[in-house]
Homo-oligomer: A and B are copies of this chain.
Amino acid sequence: MTNDALWQRRKNALSPTYAHFYDEPLNVVKGDGVWLYDETGSKYLDCYNNVVSVGHCNPTVVKALCDQASTLNTHTRYIHENVVVLAEKLAAKFPEKLDTCIFVCTGTEANDLALQMARCVSGNKGVIVTDAAYHGNSTVIGAMDQRRKNFGQFDWLETFEPPNTYRGPHAGKDEGEMASLYASEVDKAIAKLAGKGISLAAAMLDLSFDSNGILIPPGDYANLVADKVRAAGGLVICDEVQAGYCRLGEYWWGFERYGVMPDIVTIGKPMGAGHPVAAIVTTREIARKFSEIDRYFNTFGGNPVSAAVAAAVIDEIDDRKLLENATDVGTYLQAGLEKLAGKYSFIGNIQGAGLFWGLDLVSDPVSKTPMSDRELRHITTLLKDEGVLMGYTGRYNNCLKIRPPLIFSKENADQALSAMDRVFRTLG
């Protein structure tokens, strides 16, 4: 079947809410390691898909999936060793206090449940998130992205300015000053809630600031924010769906990089290498308080198959030393990106860490005017035509997003950098 025919059938069968990457839809039929293949056999270096952090069709993970699916798939109202083994493996990756797990199927479910728990434990209902944050798509979690007008305004939600050191109200100042000024934006959001008579239940923080263009906050920003949230009676929820699982290099989790101690951590995407599994990791005390007031059951959450897959992913990251790889190849990739930035003035800023980078692209480096959504779509389409898959993100949709599987090698980095160079050259 031709792509056009498949595209037409898809338009007839799926809702018009479905979108696709690139100017023309890409028909991907096979995946292997860092490579994706289309229906003509053309191959693409995957510099976008963090979900398959251990590589497309990782044989160890696929074997764990198939072995367990052939043996038993049921739910947590019976007992089964797999979910216990997974919870123990996860707890071993967290600070000692974060020792209690609840399993769900998606990051949305994890964040929605985290909010239920935070409200229950704090007794408050207010929530603060960075402006243009994305934490999922349930009614309350989707509402946190105020760009989605359908959800309307909620009195319990306030947003604050993301800690962007390149653009934004406090950019370009001394690092300590930026940290304190951006943290004070959190005070304003809490004060706005208080002005409506609403106390703080939680701040939901993605410390990789993915949807803000992948930001590394200045100085002690993260801890200053955590302190303010706790002083206001709220819980610190770290949404590690993007930042976690070694993505930023050096540490398993984004919060470790900043020495922040979360009350609740939510994890997802790469956790099952594409299999729908996600979780909450929290303290025994918070889980106990929640259990005294409410119950929670998720039909598919923590089933033996999902648990086997998620355990295999953790083992694979450890056995193949993918944290070390993310750190090493990340440093190598960063150097290459900096070289490109020296060559092309429309690369306004390089932001990120490990194997997660955003290039803030500008039409004018002095005014820092963001390139348009259309331009980024064009650039990613050109990169795709060069055999390299990337995406874009950010408040203005102008940050080229580089987020390859953790098995990405220095050779892969060279392939990506050289394709970027070829494409950037054509942009003048």
Contacts and interface: CB of A to CB of B under 8 A. Distances in A.
B79 A120 contact: no
Interface string A353-364: 000000000000
Interface stretch (A12-20, A255-263, A313-321): A12-20
B77 A13 contact: no
A139 B139 contact: yes
A87 B57 contact: no
Interface in A126-163: 137-140, 142, 148-151
Given A20-B78, A65-B65, A274 B73 contact: yes
Contacts of A293: 149-150
A84 B6 contact: yes
B30 A72 contact: yes
A17 B102 contact: yes
A62 interface: yes
A409 B78 CA distance: 24
A81 interface: yes
Contacts of A102: 14-15, 17-18
A6 B79 contact: yes
Contacts of A149: 293-294
Interface of A, secondary structure class, is: mixed
Interface stretch (A21-29, A174-182, A185-193, A226-234): A21-29
B57 A71 contact: yes
A84 B296 contact: no
Interface in A1-56: 1, 3, 6-7, 9-10, 12-21, 25-31, 36, 49, 51-52, 56
Contact of A137 (B10, B139, B269, B297): B297
A9 to B, nearest CB: 5
A112 interface: yes
A297 B105 CA distance: 15
A28 B76 contact: no
Interface residues of A, number: 99
Nearest to A13: B87
A74 B36 CA distance: 10
A149 B294 CA distance: 7
Interface hub of A140, A291, A293, A299 (most chain B Cβ within 10 A): A299
A305 interface: yes
Contacts of A140: 138-140
Interface string A387-401: 000000000000000
Contacts of A291: 15-17
Contacts of A107: 299
Given A139-B116, A294-B150, A21 B78 contact: yes
Contacts of A275: 73, 300, 305
Given A14-B84, A100-B13, A74 B28 contact: yes
Contacts of A165: none
B112 A78 contact: no
A269 B87 CA distance: 24
A101 B1 contact: no
A340 interface: no
A329 interface: no
A88 interface: yes
Given A138-B112, A139-B139, A79 B20 contact: yes
A273 B71 CA distance: 13
A298 interface: yes
Given A66-B62, A293-B150, A305-B274, A16 B287 contact: yes
Contacts of A19: 77, 295, 297
Interface string A280-324: 101000011011011111111011011000000000000000000
Given A1-B81, A56-B74, 9 more contacts: A10-B84, A13-B84, A15-B296, A20-B78, A27-B79, A62-B70, A65-B65, A112-B139, A276-B276
12 contacts: A6-B79, A10-B79, A15-B290, A16-B287, A19-B297, A28-B79, A57-B71, A57-B73, A62-B69, A73-B275, A268-B299, A275-B305
